[in-house]
């Protein structure tokens, strides 16, 4: 299996797993929904979970992989404000939890780049 296929499958699995977690343990996601968003945090948790599952499924299928990977890059960018909120909200938590919340911030950049690499790998001639 080509490395690009393996990378796409891993990215797909990450997104689908994260999306499922939004339904399995929604409270942790509810807590990081920016309060400036209208409606219930649970609604946003479920919507983002559906989005992650859908994008992960799109990446899993070779026919929709490029579009799915581009959508993943956008999704990773869109959830960044929630990670900022989490880091701010957890600033008084014990050091390991603070560190985990802060570590999420720079993690978004490699995730966006990974999605863009999967997108590019799906181009003819790449």
CA atoms of 18 and 23, how far apart (whole Å) = 9
What whole-number percentage of the chain has pLDDT above 70?
A: 94
Q: What is the CA radius of gyration of the chain?
A: 15
Q: What is the pLDDT of residues 13-67, one digit of tens each?
A: 999 999 999 999 999 899 888 888 899 999 999 999 999 999 999 999 999 999 9
Report the first-to-last Cα separation within the chain, whole angstroms.
Answer: 16
**Whole-number average pLDDT of the chain:** 92
């Amino acid at each position: 299996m080509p490395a690009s296929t393996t990378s796409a499958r891993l990215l797909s699995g990450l997104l689908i797993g994260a999306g499922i977690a939004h339904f399995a343990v929604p409270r942790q996601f509810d807590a990081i929904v920016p309060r400036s968003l209208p409606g219930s945090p649970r609604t946003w948790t479920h919507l983002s979970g559906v989005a992650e599952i859908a994008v992960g499924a799109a990446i899993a299928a070779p026919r929709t992989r490029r579009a799915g990977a581009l959508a993943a890059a956008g999704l990773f960018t869109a959830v960044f404000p929630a990670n900022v909120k989490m880091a701010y909200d957890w600033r008084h938590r014990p050091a390991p939890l603070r560190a985990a919340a802060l570590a999420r911030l720079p993690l978004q950049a490699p995730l966006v780049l990974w999605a863009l690499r999967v997108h590019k790998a799906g181009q003819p001639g790449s």
